[in-house]
Structure 1
Amino acid sequence: MAVFFNTDELPAFKNAVITIGTFDGVHLGHKTILKEVVEHAKAVNGESVLLTFEPHPRKLIFPNVPLKLLTPLSEKLELVSKEGVEHIVVVPFTRDFSNLTAEQYIKDFLVKKFQPESIVIGYDHHFGYDRTGNIDLLKKFSSDYGYNVFEISAQLIDEAAVSSTKIRTALEQGHVAEAATMLGRHYSLSGHVTGGAKLGRTIGYPTANLLPEDPEQLIPANGVYAILANWNEQEFKGMLNIGFRPTVTKDVVLHIEAHLFDFDKDIYDQKLELVFVERLRDEQKFPSVDVLKEQLHKDREAAKRILNA
């Protein structure tokens, strides 16, 4: 799969079959749509092309509304590549781009840049300034510019939208196992390990403090989780706390702290991926550090049972 970030330096795609969207999460609904695009490209002896945007259009249009992304760009690209899509074009979503009229978007962007054989799009897809463009406008200009328009079924589009909403809701409630069934994989957070107060080390549970790679990615509900952790191309099992550590501090900063079983490496400033398997409990304030240690021991045993560690 090839990835392009500059729309002024694109190759001449052969019989390009393009689809357009943010595809945040690349969940099971999205995969069904991508499969249709890939199969159609094969049928016309063409190349499948996904157009996505960076930053997310909502960030420019609604700058004061939190995004709560499911997949940072790097993860989205990796997931899409697994679905057989041959090319991804990451379109810079700028103010100038957002000001293109719907007709300019078709003529000067889609046709000029991609010369599409086909455009595969949902019934509710809108584009151009004030979102005035839609699938009917694409069909209107199709004979002028020599492309076909194929509509993704309303059922598929609606299911994908509902899935995205349900996944976000499940994660916000800590239901990571439920989210996994809709994603087709476990939800994960990637980032770099930062230095902490090392309080966990003093009670026998050293932790790696994660600073997420994308500050706009959705963080699941506060609480304790059984997790898998990927570091340096190796997988480890462990448990994770998301919260404010009320037993030992009065901190108002959210912490994402992973305790990895049988792990003693120094991984400060290194990349770590945390994979959510199952939620164990809410974060709690305990009457003493000793009571906290007793609970952490129970959490570890519960996590090991879930993870078969």
Structure 2
Amino acid sequence: MSVFFATHDLPAFRNPVLTIGSFDGVHEGHQKIIKHVVDRAKSVGGESILLTFEPHPRKIIQPDQPLGLLSSLEEKMARITAEGIDHIIVIPFSRDFSMMSAEDYVIDFLYNTFKPYTIIIGYDHHFGHNRSGNIHTLKEMLPASVQVIEIAEHLIHEADVSSTKIRKAIMQGQITTATEMLGRTYGFEAVVVHGNKIGRTIGYPTANLQPTYGDILVPGIGIYAVKVQHKDRVYKGMMSIGKRPTVTDDNIVTLEVNILDFNEDIYGEKLYVEFIAYVRGEEKFSGLEELKARIAQDELEIRAILS
């Protein structure tokens, strides 16, 4: 497998079978499309190629809105590679690229650059300025020798999944639903940063976390059962995402994890956190003693969930 970060000086691919999209999260719907591409390439003695974009198009088109992506570029490429694709081409997405007409996109970008043998897209794929292009544009403008295949709506909907649905489920604490749609647990990498160290005063020291990928989706406010990977070991953990109303009124959302049966100084180190279950919403308690008692209950429940 090879990765290209530019479209100049590409090799001459053999019977290239292409698909195009953001593929955020590489969920089960995406996997269906990729499988079709890989299978088709094998059947015609060709090479399977996936075109994706960096940064995500919404970051350019809607710069004032938070992205909340399901995967970093590196994680996305790793998951795409695991599906058996031959080549990934990362297209630099810019304002100028977003203004390209659908017609120029098809001829100047897709056809002249890649000389595709086959193009495979999902049933709702759009492209070009104002998303004006679709499968009909492809079929009308490409030479008849280029086969354009649309993955039928019913095949995608068998998975009943989309990146938007997954993001919504994660934000609403519906972790089990998100896991089913992704086909795996949702998680992200984070670095341990300094906090106010209140947790250690009540017997539950926490690692304050800062996601290493700034555009990653952070689940909604609440308490979660998580698994925490530190180096080559995986631990059980209690994750709090919230404004800590019992101890402060600064209204800042923080991410803290108490790693169970763990006692190491890990400031500045990286962890990978996987969200297993939503436990409860954030609450304001009368003081630290009541907070400590509630965390003790959380621990019992979370240990049971993770057992």
* TM-score, scaled to structure 1: 0.93
5 Å-filtered alignment, 1:232-243, equals 232-243=231-242
1:185 is aligned to 184
Instruction: Check conservation: 2:49, 2:88, Cα contact below 8 A.
Output: yes
Instruction: Check conservation: 2:33, 2:120, Cα contact below 8 A.
Output: no
Instruction: Check conservation: 1:223, 1:241, Cα contact below 8 A.
Output: yes
Instruction: Check conservation: 2:33, 2:121, Cα contact below 8 A.
Output: no
Structure 1 vs Structure 2 CA RMSD: 1.8
User: Match of 2:227, SS?
Assistant: strand
- The answer on 1:194 being equivalent to 2:213 is no
State how far apart, in whole Å, the 2-side matches of 1:249 and 1:159 are: 46
1:37 is aligned to 37
Instruction: Check conservation: 1:230, 1:272, Cα contact below 8 A.
Output: yes
Instruction: Check conservation: 1:122, 1:135, Cα contact below 8 A.
Output: no
Q: Residues 66 and 51 (structure 1 numbering): CA distance in 2 closer, same or farther, change over 3 Å?
A: same
2:297 is aligned to 298
User: Match of 1:143, SS?
Assistant: coil
Deviations 1:270-308 (A, max 9, x none): 221110001111111111211111111111121111111
Deviations 1:39-85 (A, max 9, x none): 11111111111111111112211222332212222221111111111
Structure 2 letter corresponding to 1:300: E
Residue 214 of structure 1, CA deviation: 2.6
Residue 213 of structure 1, CA deviation: 2.2
1:252 is aligned to 251
2:66 is aligned to 66
Residue 220 of structure 1, CA deviation: 1.2
Where in structure 2 are there 5+ consecutive unaligned residues? Answer: none
1:23 is aligned to 23
Structure 2 letter corresponding to 1:54: E
5 Å-filtered alignment, 1:89-100, equals 89-100=89-100
1:220 is aligned to 219
1:119 is aligned to 119
- The answer on 1:164 being equivalent to 2:154 is no
State how far apart, in whole Å, the 2-side matches of 1:96 and 1:159 are: 36
* TM-score, scaled to structure 2: 0.94
1:269 is aligned to 268
Instruction: Check conservation: 2:69, 2:217, Cα contact below 8 A.
Output: yes
State how far apart, in whole Å, the 1-side matches of 2:62 and 2:47 are: 34
Q: Residues 63 and 196 (structure 1 numbering): CA distance in 2 closer, same or farther, change over 3 Å?
A: same
5 Å-filtered alignment, 1:51-62, equals 51-62=51-62
Deviations 1:104-162 (A, max 9, x none): 22222212322211100134322222333221121123326x42111111224556785
State how far apart, in whole Å, the 2-side matches of 1:273 and 1:171 are: 17
Instruction: Check conservation: 1:116, 1:147, Cα contact below 8 A.
Output: yes
Instruction: Check conservation: 2:243, 2:254, Cα contact below 8 A.
Output: yes
State how far apart, in whole Å, the 2-side matches of 1:161 and 1:73 are: 24
Deviations 1:158-202 (A, max 9, x none): 567853333222111111112101111111122211111111112
2:138 is aligned to 138
Instruction: Check conservation: 2:246, 2:286, Cα contact below 8 A.
Output: yes
Moved more, 235-244 or 106-115: 106-115
State how far apart, in whole Å, the 1-side matches of 2:133 and 2:105 are: 9
2:203 is aligned to 204
Structure 2 letter corresponding to 1:129: H
Residue 227 of structure 1, CA deviation: 0.5
State how far apart, in whole Å, the 2-side matches of 1:296 and 1:142 are: 61
Instruction: Check conservation: 2:33, 2:122, Cα contact below 8 A.
Output: no
Identity value in percent: 51
Instruction: Check conservation: 1:27, 1:182, Cα contact below 8 A.
Output: yes
Moved more, 189-198 or 161-170: 161-170
State how far apart, in whole Å, the 1-side matches of 2:94 and 2:11 are: 22
Structure 1 letter corresponding to 2:53: F
Moved more, 151-160 or 166-175: 151-160
State how far apart, in whole Å, the 2-side matches of 1:299 and 1:130 are: 48
State how far apart, in whole Å, the 2-side matches of 1:65 and 1:157 are: 28
Structure 2 letter corresponding to 1:113: T
Where in structure 1 are there 5+ consecutive unaligned residues? Answer: none
